Amino acid sequence: MTISPRMKLFFSVITVLFLNQKSFSQDGKVNVSQDPKFEQLLNEKRKINSSITINDRYKIQIFNGDSDSSKKTLLDFKRENKYMDATIVFSTPLYKVWVGNFKTRIEAEKNLNNLRKKYSNAFLINPNK
């Protein structure tokens, strides 16, 4: 007796359906316990972030050139000025080293005068304007 291809398909489907019902999987229940202080901290962070306006910040550019020299300048600057922010910004085709995050122009100019003693090409910028 030969079994037709339709019968093979029928038995295969029945077998798969039967095995599918009898197989067990993981429950989709997840229990997350979160410290209530975390939510309070998150709300404080949201308040601080909303009060920071990036457009009103001044920076000082102390270097403009190739990648290796900018990295060296940044490391030298950070070694001497541990408490001042500094970063490298890429603007085609040059790398720029920006330092500080000054709220007022007066504060930025005061620091600019001090930085010009070592970095003679330093100048004040307001990046987002």
Compute the mean pLDDT over every residue in the chain, rounded to the nearest whole number: 83
pLDDT tier for residue 44 given thresholds of 50, 70 and 90: confident
Boundaries of domain holding 75: 55-125
The answer, yes or no, to whether residue 129 has pLDDT greater than 60, is no
- What is the DSSP code string of the chain? -PPPHHHHHHHHHHHHHHHHHH-------------HHHHHHHHHHHHHHHH--GGG-EEEEEEEE-HHHHHHHHHHHHHH-TTS-EEEEEETTEEEEEEEEESSHHHHHHHHHHHTTT-TT-EEE-TT-
Angstrom distance (rounded) from CA 56 to CA 107: 13
Q: Is 8 a domain residue?
A: no
Question: What's the pLDDT score for residue 40?
Answer: 87
Q: What is the CATH number of the domain that holds 63?
A: 3.30.70.1070
Question: What's the pLDDT score for residue 21?
Answer: 65
Question: What's the pLDDT score for residue 97?
Answer: 92
Q: Is 32 a domain residue?
A: no
Angstrom distance (rounded) from CA 8 to CA 16: 12
Q: Is 25 a domain residue?
A: no
Angstrom distance (rounded) from CA 105 to CA 125: 10
Which one is predicted more confidently, 57 or 128?
A: 57
Query: Which pTM does this prediction carry?
Result: 0.56
Q: Is 100 a domain residue?
A: yes
Domain total for the chain?
1
Give the pLDDT confidence of 52-74 residue by residue, as tens digits.
555 568 999 999 999 899 999 99
Q: Is 113 a domain residue?
A: yes
Q: Is 48 a domain residue?
A: no
Q: Is 102 a domain residue?
A: yes
Q: Is 7 a domain residue?
A: no
